[in-house]
């Protein structure tokens, strides 16, 4: 699921900015944008995110702006200053006209000014607090999108339920019409075969009629889709219950989409009339729409 959140926290050491955003993905893919100086806090992010998230390509950014104090607790690296003076004297021996370093030049030398280090324990506490607040806002944004997606999916479920309700009353009529047509055609075909047999027929007319009834009954069983429609209704009820319950439903809905698609395929393969074939196609289109959206859910 997509989501976005950003927070900025002021601490004694400086400003902590945390940003979390995600795009759709079937699996959890974490990416971190953290300066190398703060790589030690990456496990804090990873642990917090894996506890709360299951899906999504998630990018987490961390930045820290150090606070410039009016009277910072700093001191000079006297050993380095002494070494700079010795190097300067050596260079002036070789180059008498060389300009001497000013106080500003020396103070700008890397490492001459030693600033008091940030308290790592307090810093990590501030980072953890920032992660918690940002993650909470991020999850809220995903929940809002999830609620909107749930409404879309529920509408698809209602449409599929209407299709099942529409075609269920047709089944007895469909089977009866098919049996009548099949019996008439088989009687005609076998009757001609009997008439064409000038010699004594190998089977009687009663046996022919009994064979016709057997064949029609067996084929009627093969094209009967009452069980498929019953399972479709059950799967739709379960899908609706999952969506209304909420929470982490993505993987459960993935499974339900597989089951719905299986029943729709069976319905299409058994369709003896155009109405059933059309219904199977409508169901498959709706299932595919749902499948695309389900992959975005947590």
What's the sign of the alpha-carbon dihedral 125, 2, 152, 228?
A: negative
In this prediction, residues 40-47 reach a mean pLDDT of 90
Residue 234 pLDDT exceeds 80: yes
Task: Answer whether residue 71 shows pLDDT above 50.
Answer: no
Over range 253-277, report the average pLDDT: 84
Give the pLDDT of residue 213.
64
pLDDT, tens only, 75-134: 777 888 888 888 888 888 888 888 888 888 887 888 777 665 666 778 888 889 999 999
Indicate whether 246 pLDDT > 50.
yes
Q: What is the mean pLDDT of residues 13-30?
A: 87
pLDDT for the residue numbered 70:
46
Span 178-220, pLDDT tens digits? 666 666 666 666 665 555 554 445 556 566 566 666 666 655 5
For residue 54, the model assigns a pLDDT of 83
Of the candidates 142, 156, 153, 144, the one whose C-alpha atom is nearest the C-alpha of residue 298 is 142
Query: How sure is the predictor about 156, in pLDDT bands with cuts at 50, 70 and 90?
Result: very high
Cα 256 from Cα 262, distance rounded (Å): 10
Integer Cα distance of 203 and 26 in angstroms: 63
Residue 74 has a pLDDT of 62
Average pLDDT value over all residues in the chain:
80
Strand pairing class (28-34; 56-66): parallel
pLDDT 10s digits, 255-264: 899 999 998 8
For the entire predicted model, the pTM comes to 0.58
Give the pLDDT confidence score for residue 55 in this predicted structure. Answer: 80
Between 78 and 234, name the one with better pLDDT: 234
Instruction: Return the pLDDT at 205.
Output: 59
pLDDT at 268 over 70: yes
Q: How confident is the model at residue 31 (pLDDT cuts 50, 70, 90)?
A: very high
Is pLDDT at 61 greater than 90 in this prediction?
A: yes
What is the average per-residue pLDDT within 158-167?
90
Enumerate the H helices of 5-77 as residue ranges: 42-52
Which alpha helices (DSSP H) does the chain contain, by range?
42-52, 78-94, 103-107, 120-167, 170-196, 205-223, 226-245, 250-270, 274-294
């Amino acid at each position: 699921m997509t989501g976005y959140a950003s927070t900025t926290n002021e601490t004694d050491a400086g400003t902590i900015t945390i940003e979390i955003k995600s795009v759709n993905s079937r699996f959890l893919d974490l990416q971190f944008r953290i300066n190398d100086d703060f790589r030690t806090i990456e496990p804090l992010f990873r642990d917090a995110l894996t506890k709360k998230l299951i899906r999504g390509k998630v990018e987490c950014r961390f930045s820290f702006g150090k606070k410039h104090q009016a009277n910072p607790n700093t001191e000079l690296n006297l050993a380095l200053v002494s070494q700079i003076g010795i190097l300067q004297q050596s260079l002036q021996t070789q180059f008498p006209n060389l300009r001497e370093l000013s106080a500003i030049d020396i103070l700008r030398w890397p490492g001459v000014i030693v600033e008091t280090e940030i308290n790592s324990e307090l810093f990590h506490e501030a980072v953890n607090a920032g992660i918690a607040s940002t993650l909470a806002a991020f999850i809220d944004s995903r929940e809002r999108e999830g609620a909107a997606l749930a409404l879309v999916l529920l509408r698809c479920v209602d449409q599929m339920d209407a299709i099942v309700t529409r075609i269920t009353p047709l089944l007895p009529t469909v089977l009866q019409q098919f049996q009548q047509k099949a019996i008439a055609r088989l009687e005609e075909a076998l009757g001609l075969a009997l008439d064409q047999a000038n010699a004594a027929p190998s089977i009687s007319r009663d046996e022919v009629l009994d064979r016709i009834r057997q064949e029609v009954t067996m084929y009627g069983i093969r094209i009967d889709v009452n069980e498929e429609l019953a399972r479709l209704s059950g799967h739709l009820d379960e899908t609706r219950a999952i969506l209304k319950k909420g929470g982490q439903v993505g993987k459960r809905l993935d499974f339900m989409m597989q089951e719905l698609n299986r029943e729709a395929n069976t319905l299409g393969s058994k369709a003896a009339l155009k109405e059933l074939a059309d219904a199977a196609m409508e169901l498959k289109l709706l299932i595919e729409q749902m499948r695309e959206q389900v992959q975005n859910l947590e």
